Amino acid sequence: MGHFSTYKKLKVTHIVWNLFAEIPKSLIISIDERSSRDSKKITAELTNVIEEKEVNENSKDNPFNWPKRKKWLTLVVLSCGAIISPISCFLFYPAVLEVRKQLHTTSILTNASVSIFIIFQGIGPLGCAAYSDSRQTRRHVYIFSLILFIVTSVICAITNNIWLLILIRSVQACGSSALHAIGPTTISDMFVSEELGNAFGFFYLFPMFGPLVGPVIGGYVTEYLGWRCKVYNLTASKIGLVFLSPALGYMLGSVIGGKYTDYVLRKAKRIALIAQQKEIEKIIEKGENDTIMLESVQVEPEIRIHGIWIGVIIIPTSFLAYGWLLENRISIIFPLILMFLGFGQILVYTTMFTYLVESFPTQSASIAANLNFSRQLVAGLLSLFSVPIYEALGVGWTFSLVAFLKIIVTLLVIVVIFKGEQWRLKFKQDFNLN
């Protein structure tokens, strides 16, 4: 980490596992504070640290210094608010046929209303993120987006024109997705590196209720009250029930993914600290009050990527099996089981999201918004072109194509493992980022 010159002096009075309990000497260690949030706090499982901080860093207004209860209460509120984005999307799915019938339109336009909503869920947060990072504010973004969502929802409920519905739904998407995309930046403001994965996993737990309850509620409301009551096929209600399987998988993946990525990081730090044992012993035995670099304890963010391997095996395998089971009209129970394995996707997403936010902590809002934009853009385009692709290739080969694309993306992620640090440091240098 010789690229940086600003360090904090930390006085390490004890190393875990009591490696040097018989030698009551202390050691001054130099830690690169700018490389990642790891330097904000060396996990308590590794060392007991007393840091010489400035008075303002100890301020109660600093989210890092909030009581644990306040942090988790804030996290719960953010997670509950983030459910607006997925539930406003999934509520609409079972009503597509009814909307087409009542508005006297075509299937292409009703499908377009869904696709455009998904795409604008990715576009909307881009402006919010830029404002949030430049003005260092989150609250104003949250308030504006919620007001925008409420107003557009009312307009959608009373419209009688498909073009107006598409237009207003696109604006509604911007309002609904801001909290879902910007919320993680608030989390990165509160939690240190060793806690980020678990916090992100919990944050995405509540939004996963959207795919769980949205289609079910939407299906029954459409069947018995009509689509306008919710604005947010089997009968609409039964179609909604099908979504229970992937939603439960997403929720499981959110919890497991967050905890597992933190586990990978802590394990790497333990190994790194053990590797430094002999060097630390030599300094203590000499009685020197010397300065060393504890680089290995500050493991690079790329180490988190190793938490994706379970997911990258599950994803293409389940897509491939799902497609050919449908092609051969096997009992619906088996495709539903494979839909539950969607938890592999969330496991990978949580890991990669944590990695990106940790790599650029001062630009977390922009990182979250751009990642959300990429995800929503791909999802929207795939939903728009899924029918033509299916008609051209058939179900089995369509899902085989998707599985192949997943493998290609995995290969690109492997490249990031080896080149990520180099690219990250160059990007920070080129754009003068901390």
Q: What percent of the chain has pLDDT over 90?
A: 14
Cα radius of gyration rounded to whole Å, the chain: 24
Tens digit of each residue's pLDDT (9 = 90 or more) over 150-188: 999 889 888 889 999 999 999 999 988 888 777 888 888
Q: Would you state the pLDDT for residue 8?
A: 33
Q: Is the pLDDT at 15 greater than 60, yes or no? A: no
Task: Pick the closest to residue 146 from 217, 58, 70, 78 (CA basis).
Answer: 78
Average pLDDT over residues 239-256: 77
| CA 235/CA 219 separation, integer angstroms | 8
User: Lowest-confidence range among 135-149, 314-328, 362-376?
Assistant: 362-376
Average pLDDT over residues 122-142: 83
The mean of the pLDDT values for the chain is 75
Rounded to a whole number of angstroms, the distance between the first and last alpha carbons of the chain is: 14
For the beta sheet containing 27-32, the strands, ordered from the edge strand earlier in sequence to the opposite edge, are 47-51, 7-15, 27-32, 291-293
Average pLDDT over residues 123-135: 83
| CA 272/CA 283 separation, integer angstroms | 17
Half-sphere exposure of 404 (CA within 13 A, CB side): 6
| CA 386/CA 382 separation, integer angstroms | 5
Q: Is the pLDDT at 63 greater than 70, yes or no? A: yes
Average pLDDT over residues 313-324: 92
Instruction: Give the burial string for 52-82 (b: 16+ CB within 10 Å, else e).
Output: eeeeeeeeeeeeeebeeeebeebbeebbebb
Question: What 8-state DSSP symbol labels residue 31?
Answer: E
| CA 95/CA 114 separation, integer angstroms | 11
The beta-carbon contacts of 149-158 under 8 Å, at least 24 apart in sequence, are 149/84, 149/88, 149/175, 149/176, 150/175, 153/88, 153/231, 153/232, 156/231, 156/232, 157/228, 157/229, 157/231, 158/228
Give how far Cα 55 sits from Cα of 38, 52, 62, 413, Å: 20, 9, 11, 41
DSSP-H helix ranges across 227-342? 236-242, 244-275, 277-286, 309-327, 333-340
Domain range 67-266+297-430, its CATH number among 1.10.3720.10, 3.30.930.10, 3.30.1330.40, 1.20.1250.20: 1.20.1250.20
Tens digit of each residue's pLDDT (9 = 90 or more) over 248-281: 888 888 888 888 888 888 888 777 777 766 666 6
Residue type, 97: L
Work out the burial of residue 413: count CB atoms within 10 Å of its CB; fewer than 13 is exposed, 13-18 middle, 19 or more buried.
Answer: middle
CA angle 131, 179, 94 (to 5 degrees): 135
Confidence of residue 1 (pLDDT cuts 50, 70, 90): very low
Report the sign of the C-alpha dihedral through residues 100, 84, 358, 276, in that order: negative
Residue type, 12: V
Q: Encoding tokens for residue 271? A: 């190994």
Which residue in the block uniquely carries the two structure tokens 């920070």?
428
342 vs 294, more confident: 342
Task: Give residue limits of the domains in the chain.
Answer: 67-266+297-430
State phi, psi for 51 to the nearest 5 degrees.
-100, 135
Q: Would you state the pLDDT for residue 43?
A: 36
Q: Would you state the pLDDT for residue 130?
A: 81
Is residue 22 helix, strand or coil?
A: coil
Residue 275: how many other CB atoms lie within 10 Å: 11
Question: What is the model's pTM?
Answer: 0.65
Q: Would you state the pLDDT for residue 223?
A: 55
Tens digit of each residue's pLDDT (9 = 90 or more) over 325-363: 988 888 878 888 888 888 888 889 888 888 888 888 777
CB distance 176 to 189 below 8 Å: no
Half-sphere exposure of 282 (CA within 13 A, CB side): 6
